[in-house]
Amino acid sequence: RRLPELLRAMPKAELHIHIEGSLEPELIFALAQRNGVALPYASVEALRSAYAFTNLQSFLDIYYAGASVLLHEQDFYDMAWAYLQRAAADQVVRAEIFFDPQTHTSRGVSMQTVLQGLHRACEDARAQLGVSAVLILCFLRHLSEEDAFATLEQALPYRDRIVGVGLDSSELGHPPEKFARVFARCRELGLRLVAHAGEEGPPAYIWSALDVLKVERIDHGVQAVHDAALMQRLAHDRIPLTVCPLSNQKLCVFPDLRQHNLGTLLDAGLAATVNSDDPAYFGGYINDNFTQVFAATGLTAKHAYQLAFNSFEASFASDAEKRDWE
Ligand code: HPA
Ligand code: ZN
């Protein structure tokens, strides 16, 4: 069978998707109109043409602006439902979805509004699409740890609606250590822990995400190749890396996809996975990430099976669910 066909047809888990990054320009405009929110772009085309990024921050500025159209529970539902339908079409059977509550609560949208809408879409996905979908609350690392604690407090009434917590937004200058206390508290609460580290930041941030925050997975982590001891640690402990090839290309981490190190990570025995990060902004959903990185770097069917296996192994699903997929 042709490799692209295998990549598209194989069941897989998506473990690194920011739901606000799945908001397509068309839906941004539709929600802006529905909610009477003014946008600084004249058209869908004008907005899309602003998607020319040079680094992580240049993307984040426009990503937070796009999220400003989300006001009501139904808006969050519509966004998540659109993503889940798209994911099901890519043979995603498990999705662990990041959301950024502080982007919304800072605009006066309540945690309840955000979580009700997202949770209802996850329930409908299980019933209508056969997709097992769960939510991971991400703290914005450019804000204070105090702000993260307040956000955790707001989420606790809905504790059963989130499987874990993560850490995202501007990486450089905001090392994992800044969130040591809030992650320790989340750990006591039985929440699963992940963090973005080593996207633009140094290997030291991956070490501290593991040893200070005690995370179970590293989001991105591609800078690990610059530290041989870290590579050994990640391989030995089978710490999953949720790699996002098109994101890395669009944010100029690897300006040319042919330079991407996914193959190096896999061949070193790391539990790397392929994910879409912010598909509406980076030019493709999970299967586009698979087909494009395979075409650019010459990965094989063996790598494809390994990546699908890794995605289930790395997921926070129950052992019973994992047995079904693996
Ligand atoms: N990195 C950090 N923060 C983010 C990202 C990312 O790739 N996408 C959405 N928020
Ligand atoms: Zn991300």
- Residue-wise pLDDT tens digits, 267-293: 999 999 999 999 999 999 999 999 999
**Whose alpha carbon is nearest atom 2 of ligand 1?**
169
The answer to whether residue 93 sits within a structural domain is: yes
How many domains, the chain? 1
pLDDT of residue 140: 98
pLDDT of residue 326: 80
The answer to whether residue 322 sits within a structural domain is: no
User: Has 277 been labeled as part of a binding site?
Assistant: yes
**Whose alpha carbon is nearest atom 10 of ligand 1?**
169
pLDDT digits (tens, 9 = 90+) for 93-139: 999 999 999 999 999 999 999 999 999 999 999 999 999 999 999 99
For the segment 223-242, the average pLDDT, to the nearest whole number, is 98
Q: How far apart are alpha carbons 105 and 169 in whole angstroms?
A: 16
For the segment 81-86, the average pLDDT, to the nearest whole number, is 98
Q: What is the CATH number of the domain that holds 98?
A: 3.20.20.140
Rounded distance from Cα 98 to ligand 1 centre (Å): 10
The answer to whether residue 294 sits within a structural domain is: yes
Mean pLDDT score of the chain = 98
Q: How far apart are alpha carbons 269 and 22 in whole angstroms?
A: 30
Question: Is pLDDT of 1 > 70?
Answer: no
pLDDT digits (tens, 9 = 90+) for 197-212: 999 999 999 999 999 9
164 is in which domain, residue-wise?
A: 3-313
Strands 217-220 and 241-243: parallel
Please give the number of the atom of ligand 1 that sits closest to the Cα of 251.
Answer: 7
Q: What is the ipTM of this complex?
A: 0.96
Residue 170: which residues within 8 A CB-CB, separation 6 or more?
56, 57, 60, 141, 142
